[in-house]
Amino acid sequence: MSNDELLNQDELDALCKWPTPAIANAIETFDIRSRTTGFTGSDVVCRFPELGIRAGYAVTAKMRASIRPEDDPDTVDRDLLIDAMLTQAGPKFVVIQDLDQPAIGSWWGEVNSTRHTALGGVGVITDGGVRDLDEMREMGFLALSKHVLVSHGYMHLVEVGEPVEVGGLLISSGDLLVADQHGAIEIPLAIARDVPAAAAAIEEKERKTIAFYCDPSYRPGDRIDGKYP
């Protein structure tokens, strides 16, 4: 990713004024991808909806917790993930694909949330588990996960920096993500700076429709220019 592609904080804040459904609507207007792709499915749930909307760039990894790391030939050093966090500019989402399905052990809890907050992380998106929910909530670390788990099992990383699939969403390192209580959505960098204005235009149109039906003078069957708004 070049410096020209990287959004500044004001541009990221502009994205965070819009919930992910509004962003999805805005992306549709550019006809840049199918309306059925680019976002997580319903199996990945936001654990702290009260934390609002966050934007960040993906740092990807894959994990396993069902076997001891010393018995797994694919085990890689966890420092690779820290190095990846340090390499990626801007706020970051750590995106972890859990190769154990259903998940056995959680990589994410108080310690890793503290560590990755210090490295510029704003949250985790995983089809694995999270735990230490009270502590994660208190530090404001957004968590979208498929599971809530008790144990960390034999958690270890098996890959860092390669594309992952979480909740049906294909994500590469450096992808721009926005996440909130609805889920996570990837925003194509080519249109990222134009998305807030597109969302505002759709909102204006929707407000007019809502105002029509909320008007005290409205009667069922009323139309505008012969059409139902």
- Which pLDDT band holds residue 5 (cuts at 50, 70, 90)? confident
Which whole number is the average pLDDT over 62-73?
98
Query: Do 181 and 142 meet the contact criterion of CB atoms below 8 Å apart?
Result: no
pLDDT in tens, 126-169: 999 999 999 999 999 999 999 999 999 999 999 999 999 999 99
- Which pLDDT band holds residue 226 (cuts at 50, 70, 90)? confident
pLDDT of residue 225: 87
Return the bridge partners of 187, or none. 176
> Where do the domains of the chain lie, and which CATH numbers do they carry?
9-206 (3.50.30.40)
Asked if pLDDT for residue 115 goes beyond 70, the answer is yes
Write out the two tokens for 182. Answer: 């609805």
Asked if pLDDT for residue 3 goes beyond 90, the answer is no
Which whole number is the average pLDDT over 66-88?
97
Burial category of 31 from C-beta neighbours within 10 Å (exposed 0-12, middle 13-18, buried 19 and up): exposed
The reply to whether the predicted model has a pTM over 0.85 is yes
